[in-house]
């Protein structure tokens, strides 16, 4: 996309005898009327403006103006006699006129891929607006920004009145959306819909996503119990490879050929809008086991021909679809290829090399090792690795400070040979970045956010989106791949007709499923490009949709959107999205009855209070916190009660602002209002449910350790509040969403919120039994005094608050491997705390496979000090740390801490200085 080396065209050739006015004025006085005219100026010799994506964007701008009643004329030269109210100059910023406009405005254009400029000025007394781009993608974004302003302004040209120059450049090099084909029933319609793709890609480009991944082979994790396998092993559904008689049995040749034609069309349409097209091939298995009802089987392959066929099929697909720029590959055992099968992958990679063009190889991180990375690097192609961000879910906007103990390499545990790496010595890469962040690595890294936390409901929080965007630059990462909303709908043969949005009321169904999430895409895309984006970017959309209710809509949805990522972070009963779906949550019991639960990858006993956080270094679970309350010492970790209070506050704010939306919305029957109101109500109910259940779990843990009946009574009261919250949100969803929302065949992956009440009732009934017959888990610890129990119950019921702590710490800009890293912290004890009893430094390399070292800091010279020794910094990793501060009065803090309303990274990272070269 970069056109920096394009030949320069002389100013005279472009402007003729035109002279740039000495003064630059604002574009003003452009009231819409029947005589409003706009000229769009595009130099045919400008290689940036002449690129196909830029031409398409210019046509979008013209169309946007025309739809608002503005007369538009295209010109290749400036005509001083033309009577236009405004000239829009569409240009690469290295052109003469663009450079002069920028210079007169006092603006320096970033020499950075995808950067853009919007600058107003005057030429021959005419208002001129420059839409400029450093390269063709930057120009696309500049022009589409104008089109968006025209579309969403109250008057068509109001948005073109600039208060000053607009100069932007991307914060993240990779801003990707991933869409999966997992259901013959639900996905074939959109796959074959050309109107769908053209509108979808136009929207993605307008929101500044620059990559689209179409993923095949994610319908199943294993090769058993397969029913719907359309596109699962993708090649036979796309192409006949000469020299191999490989077929998807039962698939007509004509349909296979149409599939390939559509893939070519889809990838070409993406490229035409400046999007890099990535093909995801997640499965290379060709044999199904215990699958008598599979709709297709694969014939003509043997273990001996498997690798060669995949190589040649990949080459054939790349040849047929020249717009494919990247491949996403799952290389662990769930691909159908045993881990450690390096010869297979070497053969497959050679299919990309044989295409004769540059094709990025993106490797899914689970099960990866250096040998696999080296095989990919040996192709000479660009190589990237994509770890999961917060396992298969979406937590708070920072990379986990730690991973669950279950993800650490196993000790004395038998490992399946098929998963010898991902379940063995490399298990720490199953659900995080593990040890990938070596200094000087020759591969790129960008995270992939999986669709476990949210799948159905609206999301839109600009504050959190900006925090995610900043975090995607962690230690030199280059961005993120987001699974689209509704990802995995109909997975594993569970697809049903009626639309992916799962609305029972047909009037709520948008024409295209993604149209429900227009605000979601806008908030994500524009913040990933620029975390400091102008709020008007998303507010103009809300003004158009909701008029005077727009500010309340923004606040209601923002608060509601913070609920589930917070729940996910604090409570991680399963890393797998197949098990844990907090949005339509299958109740995990507080009482251990010994019955099997869906939460198989969690410590025993498999109860709510014992489930680990997804960041156990910073968040405690209910059982741990109850122990702190009863016997101490305080850890400073964020407790379930703090999380409960955050959830209650977020829910209260969401409900308050939703009431404001209702009071200002005249048409409450509109689909836009009903979709928003229902989803905010449901998320608010989820916040109240989990808040009450966190409190219940802590109270029950107090009862289990003391036998105190008040704790049990209060636990039951909290559980009944949780149940009432769930019943309320389920009623909100009744009649709006279909009774069977399917993301898999198991009960926990389908159904409705109403279905989940039975599991909650069963657990409450078990807890009620403890009034008469305390279970075997109940013990009365004689060392715990009655006052301690009373205070613990009060803490579990109350509003937690830590006194504000004034502190100062300036992280080092960098460190040198082998040299000590000196760390200092200044603290002003809060009022009511006469003394800081201890300050501890928690530190480790940026390597999730490692545990933290914890050491006391020494107080000297009005500050706490600690030096991380050179023997520790002598490693190929950056450094990561945070502080634990212990005060008197049983108070503790973690610094820098976390606030869900002002999200930031809750630790410090100091990067290793690169070695100088002589």
CA atoms within 13 A on the CB side of 44: 4
Average pLDDT over residues 541-563: 98
Determine the pLDDT at residue 270.
Answer: 98
Asked if the model's pLDDT at residue 916 lies above 60, the reply is no
Q: How confident is the model at residue 35 (pLDDT cuts 50, 70, 90)?
A: low
Q: Phi first, then psi: give them for residue 306, nearest 5 degrees.
A: -60, -55
Longest dimension (CA), the chain: 97
Determine the pLDDT at residue 147.
Answer: 98
Average pLDDT over residues 263-275: 98
Asked if the model's pLDDT at residue 108 lies above 80, the reply is yes
Percentage of the chain surpassing pLDDT 90? Answer: 89
Q: How confident is the model at residue 25 (pLDDT cuts 50, 70, 90)?
A: very low
> 593: which residues sit within 8 A by CB, 6+ positions away?
766
C-alpha span between 471 and 465 (Å, rounded): 10
Tell me: cis bond preceding 568? Omega within 30 of 0 counts.
no
Determine the pLDDT at residue 679.
Answer: 98
Per-residue pLDDT tens for 888-903?
878 999 999 999 999 9
Per-residue pLDDT tens for 478-495?
999 999 999 999 999 999
pTM strictly above 0.75:
yes
Determine the pLDDT at residue 775.
Answer: 75
Average pLDDT over residues 317-343: 97
Asked if the model's pLDDT at residue 755 lies above 60, the reply is yes
Q: How confident is the model at residue 834 (pLDDT cuts 50, 70, 90)?
A: low
Q: Residue 552, by phi and psi: left (phi above 0), alpha (psi -120 to 50) or beta?
A: alpha
C-alpha span between 375 and 342 (Å, rounded): 8
Average pLDDT over residues 462-470: 98
Residue 113 token pair = 């891929």
Per-residue pLDDT tens for 201-229?
999 999 999 999 999 999 999 999 999 99
Determine the pLDDT at residue 11.
Answer: 28
> 313: which residues sit within 8 A by CB, 6+ positions away?
235, 236, 238, 239, 241, 244, 246, 351
Q: What is the 3-state secondary structure (H, E, C) of 538-555?
A: HHHHHHHHHHHHHHHHHH
Per-residue pLDDT tens for 155-184?
989 989 999 999 999 999 999 999 999 999
Asked if the model's pLDDT at residue 22 lies above 80, the reply is no
C-alpha span between 469 and 463 (Å, rounded): 10
Q: How confident is the model at residue 245 (pLDDT cuts 50, 70, 90)?
A: very high
3-class DSSP assignment, residue 114: coil
C-alpha span between 675 and 663 (Å, rounded): 16
| Helical segments of 612-670, H only | 622-631, 640-664
Among 14-28, 113-127, 828-842, the range with the most confident prediction by mean pLDDT is: 113-127
Do 241 and 312 contact (CB within 8 A), yes or no?
yes
Determine the pLDDT at residue 529.
Answer: 98
C-alpha span between 712 and 693 (Å, rounded): 13
Percentage of the chain surpassing pLDDT 70? Answer: 95
Of the listed ranges 257-266, 283-292, 771-780, the one predicted with least confidence: 771-780
The three-point CA angle 851-857-860 to 5° equals 165
Determine the pLDDT at residue 832.
Answer: 57
Do 293 and 346 contact (CB within 8 A), yes or no?
no
Asked if the model's pLDDT at residue 29 lies above 80, the reply is no
Determine the pLDDT at residue 713.
Answer: 98
One DSSP character per residue, 191-256 reads: HT-HHHHHHHHHHHHHTT--EEEEEES-S-SSSBS----TTTS-GGGT-PPTT---EETT--HHHH
Dihedral angle at the C-alpha atoms of 724, 756, 499, 733, nearest 10 degrees? -10
Residue 480 token pair = 């993120």
Closest CA to 490 of 113, 743, 801, 737: 743
C-alpha span between 686 and 372 (Å, rounded): 42
Closest CA to 58 of 33, 80, 91: 91
Average pLDDT over residues 662-686: 97
Q: How confident is the model at residue 831 (pLDDT cuts 50, 70, 90)?
A: low
Do 840 and 827 contact (CB within 8 A), yes or no?
no
C-alpha span between 462 and 551 (Å, rounded): 13
Residue 760 token pair = 């909650």
Closest CA to 826 of 805, 842, 856, 812: 805
Average pLDDT over residues 377-396: 98
Average pLDDT over residues 703-712: 95
Per-residue pLDDT tens for 585-644?
999 999 999 999 999 999 999 999 999 999 999 999 999 999 999 998 999 999 999 999
Residue 828 token pair = 């002003």
Asked if the model's pLDDT at residue 793 lies above 60, the reply is yes
| Better-scored residue on pLDDT, 761 or 82 | 761
Average pLDDT over residues 328-347: 97
Average pLDDT over residues 38-58: 97
C-alpha span between 39 and 226 (Å, rounded): 58
Do 321 and 266 contact (CB within 8 A), yes or no?
no
Do 368 and 331 contact (CB within 8 A), yes or no?
yes
Name the average pLDDT for the chain. 93
């Amino acid at each position: 996309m970069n056109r920096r080396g394009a030949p320069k065209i002389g100013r005279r050739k472009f402007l003729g005898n035109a002279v740039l006015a000495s003064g630059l004025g604002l574009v003003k006085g452009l009231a819409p009327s029947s005589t409003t005219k706009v000229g769009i100026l595009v130099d045919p010799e400008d290689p940036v403006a002449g690129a196909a994506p830029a031409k398409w964007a210019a046509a979008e701008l013209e169309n946007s103006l025309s739809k608002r009643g503005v007369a538009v004329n295209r010109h290749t030269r400036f005509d001083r006699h033309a009577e236009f109210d405004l000239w829009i100059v569409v240009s690469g910023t290295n052109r003469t006129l663009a450079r002069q406009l920028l210079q007169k405005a006092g603006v320096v254009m970033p020499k950075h891929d995808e950067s853009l400029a919007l600058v107003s000025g005057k030429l021959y007394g005419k208002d001129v607006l420059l839409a400029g781009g450093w390269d063709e993608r930057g120009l696309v974004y500049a022009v589409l920004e104008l089109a968006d302003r025209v579309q969403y302004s109250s008057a068509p040209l109001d948005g073109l009145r600039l208060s000053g120059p607009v100069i932007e450049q991307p914060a993240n090099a990779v801003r990707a959306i991933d869409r999966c084909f997992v259901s013959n029933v639900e996905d074939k319609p959109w796959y074959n819909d050309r109107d769908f793709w053209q509108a979808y890609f136009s929207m993605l480009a307008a929101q500044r996503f620059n990559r689209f991944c179409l993923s095949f082979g994610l319908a199943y994790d294993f090769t058993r119990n397969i029913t719907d396998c359309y596109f699962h092993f993708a090649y036979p559904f796309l192409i006949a490879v000469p020299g191999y008689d490989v077929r998807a049995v039962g698939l007509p040749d004509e349909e296979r050929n149409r599939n390939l034609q559509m893939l070519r069309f889809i990838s070409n349409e993406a490229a035409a809008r400046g999007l890099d097209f990535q093909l995801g091939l997640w499965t290379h298995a060709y044999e199904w086991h215990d699958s008598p009802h599979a709709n297709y089987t694969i014939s003509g392959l043997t273990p001996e021909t498997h690798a060669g066929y995949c190589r040649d099929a990949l080459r054939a697909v790349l040849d047929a679809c020249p717009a494919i720029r990247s491949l996403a590959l799952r290389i662990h055992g769930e691909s159908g290829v045993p881990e450690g099968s390096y010869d297979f992958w070497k053969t497959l990679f050679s299919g990309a090399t044989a295409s004769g063009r540059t094709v990025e190889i993106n490797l899914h991180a689970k099960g990866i090792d250096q040998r696999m990375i080296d095989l990919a690097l040996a192709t000479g192609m660009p190589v990237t690795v994509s770890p999961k961000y917060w396992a298969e879910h979406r937590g708070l906007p920072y990379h986990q400070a730690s991973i669950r103990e279950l993800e650490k390499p196993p000790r004395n545990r038998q490992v399946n040979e098929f998963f010898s790496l991902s379940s063995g010595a490399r298990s720490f890469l199953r659900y995080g970045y593990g040890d990938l962040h070596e200094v000087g690595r020759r591969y790129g890294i960008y995270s992939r956010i999986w669709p476990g936390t949210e799948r159905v409901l609206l999301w839109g929080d600009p504050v959190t989106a900006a925090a995610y965007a900043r975090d995607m630059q962690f230690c030199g990462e280059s961005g993120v791949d987001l699974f689209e909303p509704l990802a995995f709908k109909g997975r594993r043969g569970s697809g049903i007709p009626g639309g992916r949005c799962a609305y029972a009321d047909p009037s709520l169904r948008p024409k295209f499923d993604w149209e429900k999430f227009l605000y979601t895409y806008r908030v994500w895309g524009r913040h990933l490009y620029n975390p400091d984006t102008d709020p008007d970017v998303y507010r103009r959309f809300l003004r158009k949709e909701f008029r005077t209710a727009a500010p309340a809509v923004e606040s209601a949805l923002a608060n509601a959107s913070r609920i589930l990522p917070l729940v996910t972070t604090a409570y991680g009963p399963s890393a797998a999205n197949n098990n844990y779906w907090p949005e339509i949550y299958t109740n995990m019991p507080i009482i251990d009855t010994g019955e099997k639960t869906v939460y198989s990858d969690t410590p025993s006993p498999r109860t709510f209070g014992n489930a680990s956080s997804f960041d156990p270094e910073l968040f405690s679970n209910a059982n741990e916190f109850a122990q702190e309350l009863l016997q101490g010492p305080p850890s400073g970790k964020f407790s379930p009660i703090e999380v409960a209070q955050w959830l209650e506050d977020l829910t209260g704010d969401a409900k308050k602002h939703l009431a404001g939306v209702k009071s200002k919305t005249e048409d409450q029957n509109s689909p836009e209002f009903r979709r928003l109101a229902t989803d905010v109500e449901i998320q608010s109910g989820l916040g109240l449910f989990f808040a009450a259940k966190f409190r219940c779990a802590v109270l029950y843990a107090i009862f289990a350790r003391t036998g105190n009946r008040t704790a049990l009574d209060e636990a039951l009261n909290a559980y009944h509040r949780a149940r009432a919250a769930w019943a309320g949100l389920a009623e909100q969803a009744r009649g709006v969403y279909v009774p069977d929302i399917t993301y898999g065949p198991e009960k926990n992956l389908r159904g409705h919120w109403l279905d989940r009440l039975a599991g909650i009732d069963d657990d409450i009934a078990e807890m009620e039994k403890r009034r008469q017959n305390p279970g075997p888990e109940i013990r009365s610890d004689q060392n715990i005094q009655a006052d301690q129990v009373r205070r613990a119950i009060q803490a579990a019921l109350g509003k937690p608050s830590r006194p504000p702590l004034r502190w100062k710490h300036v992280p080092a800009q960098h460190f040198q491997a082998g040299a000590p890293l000196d760390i200092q912290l200044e603290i002003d004890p809060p009022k009511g705390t006469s003394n800081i009893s201890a300050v501890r430094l928690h530190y480790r390399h940026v390597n999730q496979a490692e545990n933290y070292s914890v050491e006391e800091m020494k107080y000297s010279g009005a500050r706490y000090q600690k030096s991380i020794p050179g023997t520790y910094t002598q490693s190929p990793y950056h450094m990561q740390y945070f502080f634990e501060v212990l005060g008197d009065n049983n108070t503790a803090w973690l610094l820098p801490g976390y606030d869900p309303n002002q999200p930031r990274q809750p630790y410090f990272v100091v990067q290793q200085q690169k070695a100088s070269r002589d």
